[in-house]
Amino acid sequence: MRFRDIKKQSKHKQKTPVQNTHYAIYVDKIKAFIIDTFMIYIPILYLITYVIMGGKDEFQESQLAPLFAVTLYGLIYAFLISRFGQTPGKKAYNIRVVSDKDDENISFLRAFLRFLAFLFSGTIIIGLLLPLFRKDKKALHDIVCHTVEIVQK
């Protein structure tokens, strides 16, 4: 069998993304992020500040407490994205995070790397503004991790 024929067969076996994909709009992504902040991150901060640290003064003096809070939030976020494709905020707006190649859920490690890339995107701001200029509405962290946020039907 010729290499050309083998290559054609392997292309036909690969899953192709759905052509009729509806990308999540930027405003809904922001609203979903705000919901996730209030439903996941704020309770984590409260528990660390008042239950573990004993008060706001100890939390403010600690350098590890905010790092621990963000890391715990990232782990919870990555678990929800890898398991369900959504966080509570994304579920409220029917948004799913999927692989841009086959529209399947992404792995836990990829979801956590996406979270870290999101932190970097937020730091440089331009990474979060990219969806305003792209047809596929991808931010920098989506481009780096080969993911896309779609509207679930």
> Is there a domain that residue 13 lies in?
no
Give residue 1's pLDDT.
Answer: 61
Taking 3-state DSSP, the helix, strand and coil percentages for the chain, each rounded to the nearest 5, stand at: 65, 5, 25
Residue 1 lies in a domain: no
Query: Could you tell me if residue 70 is inside a domain?
Result: yes
Q: What is the pTM of this model?
A: 0.82
Domain annotation covers residue 3: no
Distance CA 1, CA 121 (A): 47
Q: Distance (Å, rounded) from C-alpha 96 to C-alpha 75?
A: 18
Residue 119 in any domain: the answer is yes
Helix 108-124 with 64-84: angle, nearest 10 deg: 130
Residues of the chain with pLDDT under 70: 1, 3-4, 6-8, 10-20
Question: Quick one: pLDDT at residue 66?
Answer: 94
In a domain, 80, yes or no: yes
Cα angle 22-103-4, degrees, rounded to a multiple of 5: 115
Q: Is 72 contained in some domain?
A: yes
Which pLDDT score, from 0 to 100, does residue 11 have? Answer: 59
Contact criterion met (CB below 8 Å) for 149 and 100? no
Question: What pLDDT sits at residue 45?
Answer: 95
Q: How many domains does the chain have?
A: 1
Range of the domain at 38: 21-151
- Would 8 be classed as within a structural domain? no
